[in-house]
Amino acid sequence: MARKMLIDGELSKPGEEEAHYDFDLFVIGAGSGGVRASRFSAQYGAKVAICELPFDPIGSEVSGGVGGTCVLRGCVPKKILVYGAAYGPELEDAKNYGWEVNENVNFNWKKLLHKKTEEIVRLNGIYKRLLSNAGVKLFEGEGRVVGPNEVELIQLDGTKISYSAKHILIATGSRAHRPDIPGQELAITSDEALSLEELPKRAVILGGGYIAVEFASIWRGMGSTVDLCFRKELPLRGFDDEMRAVVARNLEGRGITMHPCTTLTKLEKAEGGIKVHTDHGEVILADVVLVATGRLPNTKRLNLDAVGVELDNMKAVKVDEYSRTNIPSIWAIGDVTNRMNLTPVALMEGTCFAKTVFGGKPTKPDYSHIPCAVFCIPPLSVVGFSEEQAIEQINGEVSVYTSSFNPMKNTISGRTEKSVMKLLVDAQTDKVIGASMCGPDAPEIMQACIFCFTAAYDLLGIAVALKCGATKEQFDSTVGIHPSAAEEFVTMRSESRRISSNKPKTNL
């Protein structure tokens, strides 16, 4: 297949003299984005190689695995543990539905851990086969950039070999950050949390983001005592404040002890566990301390400074809107660029890279209206603007529609935990500009549950609706599925309130 490749921003011309390279593309990092970019580039006819560190469930500077963080020590194994944790409360709820559940129900952590490991090993093999079937050459070892068109591969036996490539793509992702506090070596990160030999009876978690609230839900659902410490008044900074409050209320309602406006000052080994000191003078005894205070771009060992690739102050690779660095032959996608650190975004960036460089169709990633979910129990899912973002970015008034209700399942089980839904509408254009939900199945509902039969839309989810510019009138004209929670999104007729850009900002 003939290939069209960008040369200094211009597509190559037929018959143009080109230097010989071992590969058209060499990718460093075989996570979701790197694998996608490799496969799609190969489908355009490029000769592609990719390198990745050897597989290990717990990542480090010298271990990794084909599939990357999401598949091996992130989204996938975490979701498996979320499923496992959800069964505990479900068994309790089942009693009012007539199930005579034995009071002595035991949870076998080691069995779930074994099943989780089996699954990520299976997925690691699938990702390797995807590369092989696409004709991508896979090298196991550590890759370093040693020139604009040269990658050095440090093989497993320590020997080094160099390969030349017309284009180099950096897709090495990110690693968990450890805060600089005395005794931090006693703490674990999410990598280790997914592979603990024993389920902790007492856990302290530092952080208020995705990972922190998800592991709080996981361990609490499995019966552990959980203390969640975070710096702000509410967890999940950056999300809609109203929905953050809902999540906090739900976490507390499920028995998690919340410590807002709190950080840890010291960890020390003690008889029977770890003494955790907070900045409020509290001392908590724990079996495990999880630090979930963010992630840092994985650029430390890539030799990028020596080659002249520009990094930002977080050591993320700086790229233009096409994912190209300041070195024309070197590109970067995914978390290593610290743009929008989500697996589906890395996949999108990988697709756009392949189209741009080898498909003859320069394509910029589109970061508007990207949905996301937090898999706490129950989960939160959002797309579009939060209320606070709408105040900042919309000129004029925004109509807010909310619905808070007891899910039908809870009316029998007796669980007092409400689902909350929210729509934001540009009052001038009637366009829906934001949607949020906290409740059972929120991610599935947000992505693809609503059918809008209009001239503009076929099978349509909330995320697709916003992307296509759906109006509130079109939501209202859609027939819902009854009885379902999802139908609330098309039956919220009454405006809860109207806001404008002069509303005071919060600091939650």
**Spatial CA neighbour of 405 closest among 374, 434, 438, 372:** 438
Rounded Cα gap, residues 339 and 203, in angstroms: 31
Annotated binding site for FAD: 79, 143, 172-174, 335
Q: What is the pLDDT of residue 467?
A: 72
Q: What is the pLDDT of residue 461?
A: 60
The residues, any chain, with a CB within 8 Å of residue 324's CB and separated by 6 or more, are 330, 331
DSSP string, 92-143: HHHGGGT----S-----HHHHHHHHHHHHHHHHHHHHHHHHHTTPEEEEEEE
Rounded Cα gap, residues 107 and 218, in angstroms: 13
Q: What is the pLDDT of residue 503?
A: 52
Residue 383: enclosing H or E segment and its boundaries? strand 380-384
Q: What is the pLDDT of residue 449?
A: 37
The residues, any chain, with a CB within 8 Å of residue 73's CB and separated by 6 or more, are 57, 58, 59, 120, 190, 191, 194, 195
Torsion of the alpha carbons at 228, 231, 235 and 239, rounded to the nearest 10 = -160
**pLDDT digits over 56-96, tens only?**
888 788 889 999 999 999 999 999 999 999 999 999 999 99
CB 246 within 8 A of CB 114: no
| Percentages (nearest 5) of helix, strand, coil residues in the chain | 30, 25, 40
Rg value, the chain, Cα? 24
- In this structure, of 85-94, 96-105, 257-266, 323-332, the range with the lowest mean pLDDT score is 96-105
CB 148 within 8 A of CB 307: yes
Longest C-alpha distance within the chain, in Å? 77
pLDDT band at 507 (very low <50, low <70, confident <90, very high): low
Rounded Cα gap, residues 473 and 482, in angstroms: 20
Rounded Cα gap, residues 358 and 97, in angstroms: 57
**Spatial CA neighbour of 397 closest among 430, 369, 422, 421:** 430
Annotated binding site: 79, 143, 172-174, 207-214, 294, 335
Rounded Cα gap, residues 169 and 334, in angstroms: 11
CB 297 within 8 A of CB 303: no
**pLDDT digits over 219-239, tens only?**
999 999 999 999 999 999 999
**Spatial CA neighbour of 386 closest among 339, 345, 422, 429:** 422
How distant, in Å, are the alpha carbons of 36, 97, 191, 395, 478 from that of 430? 37, 43, 44, 13, 15
Which residues are catalytic, by number?
A: 482
How distant, in Å, are the alpha carbons of 308, 337, 364 from that of 9? 19, 20, 13
Rounded Cα gap, residues 317 and 333, in angstroms: 9
pLDDT, the chain, mean:
90
Place of tokens 């599935």: 444
Q: Does 3.10.20.30 match the CATH number of domain 184-293?
A: no
Q: Residue 91: helix, strand or coil by DSSP? A: helix
Tokens at 282, concatenated: 């509290």
Place of tokens 């006819």: 45
Q: What is the pLDDT of residue 506?
A: 54
Q: How far is CA 2 from the centre of its chain?
A: 36
Rounded Cα gap, residues 207 and 164, in angstroms: 43
* H helix and E strand count, the chain: 14, 23
The residue ranking higher by pLDDT, 464 or 399, is 399
Q: Do domains 23-176+296-358 and 184-293 have the same CATH topology?
A: yes
Tokens at 152, concatenated: 């050095």
Rounded Cα gap, residues 113 and 439, in angstroms: 26
pLDDT score of 508 more than 80? no
The residue ranking higher by pLDDT, 451 or 343, is 343
Place of tokens 């700086």: 318
HEC string of 176-222?
ECCCCCCCHHHCECHHHHCCCCCCCCEEEEECCCHHHHHHHHHHHHC
Instruction: Decide the pairing of beta strands 137-147 and 48-52.
Output: parallel
Rounded Cα gap, residues 196 and 113, in angstroms: 8
Tell me the CATH architecture of domain 371-500.
2-Layer Sandwich (3.30)
Q: What is the pLDDT of residue 14?
A: 47
Residue type, 63: S
Tell me the CATH architecture of domain 23-176+296-358.
3-Layer(bba) Sandwich (3.50)
The residue ranking higher by pLDDT, 81 or 480, is 81
Q: What is the pLDDT of residue 447?
A: 75
Annotated binding site for NAD(+): 207-214, 294
Rounded Cα gap, residues 25 and 329, in angstroms: 10
Maximum mean pLDDT: which of 2-11, 368-377, 442-451:
368-377
155-173: average pLDDT: 97
The residue ranking higher by pLDDT, 472 or 70, is 70
**pLDDT digits over 288-299, tens only?**
999 999 999 999
Question: Domain ranges in the chain?
Answer: 23-176+296-358, 184-293, 371-500
**Which residues on adjacent β-strands are paired with residue 400?**
424, 497
On the CB side of 436, how many CA atoms lie within 13 Å of its CA? 24
